[in-house]
């Protein structure tokens, strides 16, 4: 078990280095002189040259990469081309906003998706069954900006009940969180529905019935618990689209999170910041992925066997 986890970590670290390599070289291939960008266009050439030297930009690319990796070990993500401050500080200032949004959205999505999925799974032809399909279509096919704008139009423009913009209050959190949640709910609901249906027809549910267990206990213990482990997997998988959605949602709602910071960094051509953000994203995704796998082994003992086999 421990060996398997260590193995998985090593794999994750290799993938992580791969991501950095990809981003690093992609950004370095493009034209443009970061030193000039930071120093400003009025700066004297020798100042630019000094800065370039200071940032290590005059070294060969592979060496720069090694430098970057070494500084990463010291949690140093480099200096923002635009503000001149440490990239890490800028990201850390914005991260809590995205985390708040993501956690609230995921919580709404899990709650709505799981409850809808259960009802629909127990009664596939009910109203809940159709709702699952509708949420599924919205989540998989609606552009996130359309969902955001529709919500703004209904709740801010027509009903005047919620603000369309800004961050800081609970009211301002609601619309962006629902936008993101709508992207995820359908997927969770569909999955829970099909796994409830599957679990209903399993033989161990027959055993539970033959024991004389009450309906509630059969549903919660023997139908839902086995149906739960795919939900955890999908939360892990969805984390990516959650962050992708956050880029759009934060931009529309003026939410000062890391997604909007990313768009800003692209517009201001602050590639050190952009690179730092993607590195942070990659770390988050990998941590989520590994946590999901560990959680799985706790919830479903069969996963331990899978590990042993590996």
7 DSSP 8-state letter: H
Pick the closer one to another protein by CB: 84 or 143. Answer: 143
- State which of residues 105, 274, 276, 280 lies at the interface with another protein (CB under 8 A): 274
Phi, psi of 130 (to 5 degrees): -70, -40
Q: 45 or 214, CB closer to another protein? A: 214
Q: Which residues of 163-178 are buried (b: 16+ CB within 10 A; e: fewer)?
A: bbeebeeeebbbbbbb
Secondary structure of the chain: what % helix, strand, coil (to 5)?
80, 0, 20
CB 239 within 8 A of CB 285: yes
290 binds another protein (CB under 8 A): no
| Residue 115 interacts with another protein (CB under 8 A): yes or no | no
If binding is defined by CB under 8 A, does position 248 make contact with another protein?
yes
Closer residue to another protein (CB): 58 or 305: 305
Q: Give the closest residue to 37 by CA, choosing from 24, 51, 27.
A: 51
Shortest Å, Cβ 44 to another protein: 28
Among residues 8, 142, 292, 307, which is the contact residue for another protein, using CB under 8 A? 142
Give me the 149-188 binding string for another protein, x by CB under 8 A, dash otherwise: xx-xx---x-------------------------------
User: Does residue number 126 form part of the binding site for another protein (CB under 8 A)?
Assistant: no
Binding mask 27-56 for another protein (x = CB under 8 A): x-xx--------------------------
Burial of 233 (0-12, 13-18, 19+ CB in 10 A): middle
Residue 29 CA, distance from chain mean position: 27
13 touches another protein (CB under 8 A): no
- Pick from 203, 216, 309, 310: which binds another protein (CB under 8 A)? 203
Q: Is 307 in the site for another protein (CB under 8 A)?
A: no
Q: Which of 107, 137, 161, 287 binds another protein (CB under 8 A)?
A: 137
Largest CA distance in the chain: 85
Please calculate the CA angle 183-195-107 and round it to the nearest 5 degrees: 35
Return the residue of 107, 202, 220, 291 that touches another protein, per CB under 8 A: 202
Question: For residue 99, which phi and psi values (nearest 5 degrees)?
Answer: -60, -45
Is 93 a binder of another protein (CB under 8 A)? Answer: no
């Amino acid at each position: 078990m421990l060996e398997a986890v260590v193995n998985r970590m090593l794999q994750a670290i290799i993938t992580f280095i791969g991501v950095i390599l990809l981003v690093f070289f992609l950004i370095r291939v493009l034209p443009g002189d970061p030193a000039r960008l930071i120093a400003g266009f009025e700066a004297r050439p020798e100042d630019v040259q000094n800065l370039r030297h200071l940032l290590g930009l005059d070294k060969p690319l592979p060496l720069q990469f090694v430098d970057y990796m070494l500084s990463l070990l010291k949690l140093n993500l480099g200096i923002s081309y635009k503000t001149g401050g440490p990239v890490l500080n800028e990201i850390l200032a914005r991260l809590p906003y995205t985390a708040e949004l993501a956690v609230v959205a995921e919580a709404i999505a899990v709650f709505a998706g799981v409850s809808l999925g259960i009802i629909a799974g127990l009664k596939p032809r009910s109203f809940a069954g159709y709702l699952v399909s509708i949420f599924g279509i919205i989540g998989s096919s609606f552009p996130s900006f359309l969902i955001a704008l529709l919500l703004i139009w209904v709740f801010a423009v027509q009903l005047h009940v919620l603000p369309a913009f800004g961050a800081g209050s609970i009211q301002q959190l609601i619309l962006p969180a629902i936008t993101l949640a709508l992207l995820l709910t359908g997927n969770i609901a569909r999955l829970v529905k099909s796994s409830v249906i599957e679990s209903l027809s399993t033989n161990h549910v027959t055993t539970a019935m033959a024991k004389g267990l009450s309906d509630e206990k059969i549903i919660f213990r023997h139908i839902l618990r086995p149906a739960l482990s795919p939900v955890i997997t999908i939360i892990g998988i969805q984390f990516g689209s959650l962050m992708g959605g956050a880029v759009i949602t934060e931009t529309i709602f003026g939410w000062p999170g890391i997604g909007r910071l990313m768009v800003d960094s692209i517009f201001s051509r602050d590639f050190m910041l952009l690179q730092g953000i993607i590195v942070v994203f990659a770390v988050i995704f990998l941590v989520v992925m590994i946590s999901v796998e560990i959680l799985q082994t706790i919830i479903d003992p069969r996963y331990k066997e899978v590990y042993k086999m590996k």
